[in-house]
A = this chain, B = another copy of it.
Amino acid sequence: MKHISLTEINEWDRFYRANFINSLSGFKSATLIGTLKENRQPNLALFSNIFHVGAQPAVIGFVNRPREAAPHTLANIERTGVYTMNLVPEKYIAQAHQSSAKFKIETDEFLASGFSTQFVDKVDAPFVAESIVKYALQLLEIIPVRHNQTFIVLGSVTHVIIDDGLVSNDGFIHLEKANTITSLGIDGYYSTSLQSRYKYAKADEPVVKIV
């Protein structure tokens, strides 16, 4: 086992460090975020640092890079307060990755990366038609991170569109049946296989498998 100090990490080439540190914290949920531009043209971009904050109210967060690196999605959310998150099926990985390119503001990223928009009553942001697990959010709060100019964006879930066959009797969503990918680092994409679900853990009782 190798020990790596902060001094060593700071001396690395910046691309090596970015790959390493982005991978270090483990698997993430690559997610396409759909918004509307000021002229109501659809905007789409890939994000991977998505996290669950709470179920009641249903709050989900994501990390937006510094404004100069990733300006469009953040500006749209600030203006409209509405956005969609769309999980990515395995066969669309390459297209999803392409949506992470820096497009000009006038480009329709749905078209440029080969996805179709889907609009739903009362949600003023585009869903990705090709995704079979997707949800809309109302912006709650944008928290600027003072340590590195990123932003933590928190939103509450207002609408879910899902293939009903993925949801088990207790509410668990079998994303592996949707071939939803998980991502690693800046550019790695993985398929998954369910190993186990376990009952709520209790001190002094052995672990019990659900599946």
Interface residues of A (CB under 8 A from B): 1-6, 9-10, 12, 14-31, 48-61, 63, 85, 87, 90, 93-95, 97-104, 107, 112, 120, 132-133, 135, 140-141, 143, 145-148, 150, 152, 154, 156-164, 167-168, 170-173, 175-176, 180-182, 184-203, 205-207, 209-210
| Interchain CB contact under 8 A, A175 and B26 | yes
Given A26-B29, A57-B147, A160-B9: A187 and B173 interface contact (C-beta under 8 Å): no
- What distance in Å separates the Cβ of A98 from its nearest Cβ neighbour in chain B? 5
Given A59-B148, A173-B24: A197 and B203 interface contact (C-beta under 8 Å): no
- What distance in Å separates the Cβ of A108 from its nearest Cβ neighbour in chain B? 12
CA distance A30 to B196 in the complex (A): 13
What are 25 A-B contacts defined by CB distance under 8 Å?
Answer: A5-B158, A14-B56, A20-B167, A21-B54, A25-B50, A26-B29, A27-B180, A27-B192, A28-B52, A53-B148, A53-B150, A53-B152, A54-B145, A54-B150, A57-B148, A93-B198, A94-B198, A94-B207, A94-B209, A98-B207, A103-B203, A112-B203, A145-B154, A182-B192, A187-B200
| Interchain CB contact under 8 A, A201 and B21 | no
Given A24-B157, A147-B141, A173-B20: A190 and B194 interface contact (C-beta under 8 Å): yes
Nearest B residue to A146, CB-CB: B141
Given A51-B63, A58-B21, A148-B59: A190 and B192 interface contact (C-beta under 8 Å): yes
Given A27-B27, A203-B103: A1 and B163 interface contact (C-beta under 8 Å): yes
**Which residue of B52, B143, B195, B196 contacts A63 across the interface (Cβ within 8 Å)?**
B52
| Interchain CB contact under 8 A, A58 and B193 | no
| Interchain CB contact under 8 A, B133 and A24 | yes
**Which residue of B20, B57, B167, B207 contacts A172 across the interface (Cβ within 8 Å)?**
B20
What are the residues of chain B within 8 A of A51 when measuring CB–CB?
25, 28, 49-51, 61, 63
